[in-house]
Chains A and B, each alone.
Chain A
Amino acid sequence: MSRLDTLKEQIRKALPDLDLVIGWERGFDPFHATPFHIKEEADIDRLIFDATCVHNLASFLTGLAGKKVGVVVKGCDSRTVVQLIQEKLIDRESVVIFGLPCTGVLDKAKLKAAVDLTRVSALDVDGDTVRITSGDETVEKDLKDLQATKCDSCKYPNPLEFDHLAGKPVEPHGDEAVQYDRIKAFEDTPVEERFDFWVGEMDRCIRCYACRNACPLCVCRDHCIGDSRDPHWLSQETDIRNKWMFQLIHAMHLAGRCTECGECERACPMDIPVLMFKKKLSSIVKDLFNYESGVDPTAVPPLFTFQVDEETINERGW
């Protein structure tokens, strides 16, 4: 039985006890998947799973409080679920987790750069090979070259928390160091250049809040301080200062919480590399507190606790 068939079977069995299961279906073209709700057995046939299933479906969980929900997760997505459980933002008892080992998902921007997407009629991923058909022509590409940047450094391809697992666990295939090398390279540029870089990026920001809305850990929802007057952290102007401030608020609020799912950056219509902020914070938290978010549902996030003597913090005694 294929991995997808196993998953369908698992959902079929569990569905009578659930209000709904969140999965992916094929979108409006071969390289898009769309999240959808499985509410009755007939819906199960629409379920898909392949490298186009980029969305972190755990993002929907906090909005479905009070319901008994099933959710299909990849390895990275499962960290979000763990984090939500840890922060008591969802109740473990009311969630059924269908886990899928993952070998990487596609990055649409990279795909777009590789082939002319307007004429694509079929897309098929087989192991490490991506087969793209445009008209009569079929080209083969290496998945490694087209996968999302986060997959390059993926450490957790297998779900960390699940009730059902479809398919055999896979070996981690990412190189964890890669992501930090990129940040290091950026930090090695002169500070004036970094300043100008972000001014340029933030100038392009259209303050659409797609990053926030896609973030599974932005649980404030209607009460985001980006929109509020009390407290009044930001004005509603779309100047660079306000937009930059918003991104840094978003990042700082995720310090020690972000599971690096990358939904913020994926959702950004302007392709602003906002994940860099969160990646950096995760590496700081790892260095300082030897802590990784979304791994242990019983751990306490490092900024909600302290040690009387902090061995890793050089106190500025001057």
Chain B
Amino acid sequence: MPVMDGRELRIVGFLCNWCSYGGADTAGVARFDQPTDLRIVRLPCTGRMDPLFVIKALLSGADGVLVSGCHPRDCHYSEGNFYARRRLEVLKQFLPVTGIDPERFEYTWVSASEGQKWQEVVTKFTERIHTLGPAPVIADAAERLKAANLG
């Protein structure tokens, strides 16, 4: 598996405590092997997920950001993921114009019982980020532009 060889990339996960965080626990309890790149930030609900956290992470050096919450209709707070779905979809479609590769961001729904699905999601997303490679670095781009302007 290409993901596991060589160096890690930086993938940040924002997970709802009630579903996906539990799903990741379930995957762990079942000893489902997963790539190690992902670091998980626990949120009380995807309703707490400000799409700006995604941008913040991607501009700060993350190579990929994954958000996962409860399946729609299955929110612990009844409506959180409904708001999240709108906010995150808008973000997903917004990223292309900002110069950030939208493939570096994904959102999905995994419940606490879906350990296997969590394993699939992590593996697939990590593979995707490794295919994309490290995210472009602002400082490098600035250097490039400076060189081009001088030349």
Structural contact, B60 and A192, CB atoms closer than 8 A: no
Q: Which residue of A280, A289, A302 contacts B94 across the interface (Cβ within 8 Å)?
A: A280
Name the B residues within 8 Å of A288 (CB-CB).
86, 89-90, 93
Query: With A192-B136, A316-B107 given, is the CB distance from A252 to B91 under 8 Å?
Result: yes
Structural contact, B97 and A310, CB atoms closer than 8 A: no
Name the B residues within 8 Å of A252 (CB-CB).
51-52, 55, 91, 94
Name the B residues within 8 Å of A285 (CB-CB).
90
Query: With A192-B136, A197-B99 given, is the CB distance from A315 to B55 under 8 Å?
Result: no
Structural contact, A240 and B98, CB atoms closer than 8 A: no
Q: Which residue of B73, B107, B108, B141 contacts A195 across the interface (Cβ within 8 Å)?
A: B141
B contact face: mostly helix, strand, loop, or mixed: helix
How far apart are the CA atoms of A175 and B91 in the complex, in Å?
27
Name the A residues within 8 Å of B52 (CB-CB).
233, 248-249, 252
Structural contact, B94 and A198, CB atoms closer than 8 A: no
How far apart are the CA atoms of A285 and B60 in the complex, in Å?
27
Structural contact, B72 and A255, CB atoms closer than 8 A: no
Query: With A191-B101, A280-B97 given, is the CB distance from A303 to B108 under 8 Å?
Result: no
Name the B residues within 8 Å of A240 (CB-CB).
138, 142
Tell me the smallest distance from the CB of A11 to a CB of chain B, in Å. Answer: 41
> Is the C-beta of A277 less than 8 angstroms from some C-beta in chain B?
yes
Within 8 A of B (CB), among A280-318: 280-281, 284-285, 287-289, 302-303, 306-308, 310, 313, 315-318
Structural contact, A245 and B97, CB atoms closer than 8 A: no
How far apart are the CA atoms of A196 and B138 in the complex, in Å?
8
Closest to B97 in A: A280
How far apart are the CA atoms of A233 and B56 in the complex, in Å?
8
> Is the C-beta of A241 less than 8 angstroms from some C-beta in chain B?
yes
Name the B residues within 8 Å of A194 (CB-CB).
96-99
Closest to B103 in A: A191
> Is the C-beta of A187 less than 8 angstroms from some C-beta in chain B?
yes
> Is the C-beta of A200 less than 8 angstroms from some C-beta in chain B?
yes
Greatest chain A CB density within 10 A among B79, B93, B124 is at B93
Closest to B141 in A: A199
Q: Which residue of B85, B93, B106, B136 contacts A284 across the interface (Cβ within 8 Å)?
A: B93
How far apart are the CA atoms of A122 and B60 in the complex, in Å?
51
How far apart are the CA atoms of A15 and B144 in the complex, in Å?
58
> Is the C-beta of A87 less than 8 angstroms from some C-beta in chain B?
no
Q: Which residue of A251, A306, A317 contacts B108 across the interface (Cβ within 8 Å)?
A: A317
How far apart are the CA atoms of A195 and B121 in the complex, in Å?
27
Name the B residues within 8 Å of A195 (CB-CB).
99-101, 136, 141
> Is the C-beta of A124 less than 8 angstroms from some C-beta in chain B?
no
Structural contact, B107 and A306, CB atoms closer than 8 A: no
How far apart are the CA atoms of A198 and B142 in the complex, in Å?
10
Tell me the smallest distance from the CB of A228 to a CB of chain B, in Å. Answer: 14
B57-93 interface mask toward A, CB cutoff 8 Å, 1 = contact, 0 = none?
0011000000000001100000100110111011101
How far apart are the CA atoms of A306 and B91 in the complex, in Å?
16
Closest to B73 in A: A308
> Is the C-beta of B109 less than 8 angstroms from some C-beta in chain A?
yes
Closest to B136 in A: A195
Query: With A187-B96, A197-B99, A244-B59 given, is the CB distance from A315 to B109 under 8 Å?
Result: yes
Q: Which residue of B93, B98, B107, B124 contacts A198 across the interface (Cβ within 8 Å)?
A: B98
How far apart are the CA atoms of A288 and B92 in the complex, in Å?
12
How far apart are the CA atoms of A245 and B51 in the complex, in Å?
12
* Residues in B lying within 8 Å of A, measured CB to CB: 51-52, 55-56, 59-60, 72-73, 79, 82-83, 85-87, 89-91, 93-94, 96-101, 106-109, 120-121, 124, 136, 138, 141-142, 144-145
Q: List 14 A-B contacts (CB under 8 A).
A: A191-B96, A191-B99, A194-B99, A195-B136, A195-B141, A196-B99, A196-B145, A199-B138, A200-B145, A244-B59, A248-B98, A281-B90, A315-B109, A317-B108
Q: Other than the known A183-B97, A255-B90, what 10 A-B pairs have Cβ atoms closer than 8 Å?
A: A187-B97, A199-B141, A244-B138, A252-B52, A252-B94, A277-B94, A277-B97, A303-B83, A306-B85, A315-B85
10 residue pairs, one from A and one from B, having the closest CB atoms:
A306-B82, A194-B99, A199-B141, A195-B99, A198-B99, A280-B97, A284-B93, A191-B101, A187-B96, A316-B108
